[in-house]
Amino acid sequence: MTARKKAKAKTSKAPGGAGIIGARENAVKAAGAQEAAEKHGAGFPIVGIGASAGAHLAALQRELRAKEEYLRAANEELETAKEELQSVNEELRAAQAELDAARARYLDLYDLAPAGYFTVSEKGLILEANLTAAALLGAARGALVKKLITRFIFKEDQDIYYLHRKQLFETGAPQTCEVRMVKKDGASFWARLEAAAAPDAGGAPVCRLVLCDITGRKRVEETLRERNEELSRFVYAVSHDLKSPLVTIKTFIGYLEEQDIPNRDSAAIAKDFSFINTAADKMSRLLDELLALSRVGRNLSAHVEMPLRALLEEALTLAAGRLSERGIETRIIDEMATLFGVETVAVSGDRQRMLEVFQNLFDNAAKFMGTQPNPVIETGVDLSGTEPVFFVRDNGMGLDPRHADKIFGLFEKLEHNTEGVGMGLALTRKVIETHGGRIWAESEGPGRGTTFRFTLANTKKVTARVDRL
């Protein structure tokens, strides 16, 4: 029972049964009578008021004092109740503050989580998203609400998501899938979706969706797949190309043992040894090239910055024997005029490996120059695009565009009557890839020449100012 109810109950049971208001009225009357008695002198009763009136007045005074005592007690109880209520209010305010702080912490964890969180309706509408989800999709959080989640999924991968959602709501079991998603600006990325079914505040089924960007993992997987395919081709090529000289050696040793030595045919013996030596030399070159290829990427020297022209001139000097032997003219195109001067580039990388790249491409161009009467090799950098593109261009035999990728494979030779073992371009590609670049070949067809183009990471543009006259 509250203090107020207690006070009311006690008041109803007070002596006289008239309540506090009635008691006060009687007390006022009694006080007036007492005052009149005092005016007429003590011991002289008021005319019209007998002994019974005096007794009644005394009783009223006692009742008044009792009521006053009761009121004081009730007031004390009210003060105590007030203090208790204030204490309860303080506890409630503290609990509310703690609840608000916990909610703020939860919202921070929700919004700033390393994964994107969505609440998606059964029909696929986004009902809620955290800040990370909005950042992953490149859109404001408010702009995502009431949008279909499939709007951000590659069209080719939407069936994967539909099946994922169907199984989630049919079975109630958590579901996972991987799809390609599209940001608001059109950029794409790989995403892993983990979903669980749950009821909303009204009991309707919704999907709690966790989105993680797995683009990096997919790149690693793709690289591993390519490396495994490359390793398979490598093993096949090695076993095939090493087997050929071994068969030759074994065949002519058989001739020596079975017929040429017993017959003492010196001419045949000399011929047999010639074939054996040629096959052994080829095997030696294969092994040397394989060893060189295996070292690329593992034994790189410290990267240094070097002017492109100096690098090209040194590489041309290293290839000068083959180039001069075939009377090939060489031209360096490493500059582009701009409004601010002459622009060129500085190459950053392993100097020795960079020399090998250009030397291999020069040797390759010379090797496949064919019967061109005016052979020319141009080399340099194209600065007209968004990134510098290096090139080695010739006017030689050219190639079928269908074979433009094949020529970078291990032991691949489009012309089997040419020298070498087919490792030069494979080695060149490996060096360029370890320097963060890529290489490709372009040709309009046989007899139309070939251009090899490649990029390198950390290539710096350099502008040399030209004084105006």
Kindly write down the DSSP assignment for every residue of 25-94, as one continuous string.
Answer: HHHHHHHHHHHHHHHT-TT-PPTT--HHHHHHHHHHHHHHHHHHHHHHHHHHHHHHHHHHHHHHHHHHHH
Does residue 204 share a domain with residue 160?
yes
Q: Which domain holds residue 19?
A: 3-108
Asked whether residue 205 is assigned to any structural domain, the reply reads yes
Q: Does position 5 have pLDDT exceeding 70, yes or no?
A: no
HSE, side-chain direction, 13 A CA sphere, residue 356: 20
319 and 190 part of one domain:
no
Closest CA to 442 of 405, 411, 387, 389: 405
Same domain, 290 and 308: no
Do 446 and 373 belong to one domain?
yes
Is 263 within the bounds of a domain? yes
Decide if 410 is inside a domain: yes
Q: Is residue 162 part of a domain?
A: yes
Indicate the pairing of strand 116-121 with strand 336-338: unpaired
Number of domains in the chain: 4
Domain end, chosen from 63, 87, 108, is at: 108
Of the residues 79, 108, 137, the one at which a domain ends: 108
Provide the mean pLDDT of the chain: 80
Residue 264: what pLDDT?
A: 87
Q: Is residue 10 part of a domain?
A: yes
Burial, 149: exposed, middle or buried (Cβ in 10 Å; 0-12, 13-18, 19+)? buried
User: Domain ends where: 146, 181, 213?
Assistant: 213
Q: Are residues 208 and 248 in the same domain?
A: no
Rounded to whole angstroms, the Cα distance separating 281 from 283 reads 5
Burial of 189 from C-beta contacts in 10 A (0-12 / 13-18 / 19+): middle
Could you tell me if 245 and 321 lie in one domain? Answer: no
Could you give the residue ranges of the DSSP H alpha helices within 296-346?
308-318, 320-325
pLDDT digits (tens, 9 = 90+) for 320-346: 888 888 899 999 987 665 554 567 888
Going edge to edge, which strands form the sheet with 389-394?
A: 329-333, 376-382, 389-394, 451-454, 439-442
pLDDT value for 32: 54
Look up the pTM and report it: 0.49
Q: Is the pLDDT of residue 279 over 70?
A: yes
- Rounded-to-integer distance, Cα 108 and Cα 126, Å: 20
Residues 453 and 330 in one domain: yes
Which element (helix H / strand E) includes 348? strand 341-349
Give the pLDDT band of residue 411 (cuts 50, 70, 90).
low
pLDDT band at 166 (very low <50, low <70, confident <90, very high): very high
Output the domain CATH number for residue 224: 1.10.287.130
Shared domain for 47 and 7, answered yes or no, is: yes
418 vs 279, residue with greater confidence: 279
C-alpha to C-alpha distances, 263 to 202, 256, 267, nearest whole angstrom: 103, 9, 11
Q: Are residues 372 and 442 in the same domain?
A: yes
Spatial separation of the C-alpha atoms in residues 397 and 369, rounded to whole Å: 6
Query: Cα dist. 362→56, 183, 402 in Å?
Result: 136, 44, 22
Q: Is 318 part of any domain?
A: yes
Residue 430 is predicted with a pLDDT of: 86
Are 228 and 250 contained in the same domain?
A: yes
In a domain, residue 469? The reply is: no
Q: 322 and 460 share a domain?
A: yes
Is residue 386 in some structural domain?
yes
Q: Per-residue pLDDT tens for 280-325? A: 887 887 777 677 666 665 556 678 888 888 899 999 988 888 888 8
Reduce the DSSP state of residue 249 to 3 states and report it: helix
pLDDT of residue 362: 92
Q: Tokens 């990728």 map to which residue?
A: 405
Asked whether residue 282 falls in the same domain as residue 379, the answer is no
Q: What's the pLDDT tens digit per position in 59-91?
A: 888 889 888 888 988 888 898 888 888 888 888
Rounded CA-CA distance 240/228 in Å is 18
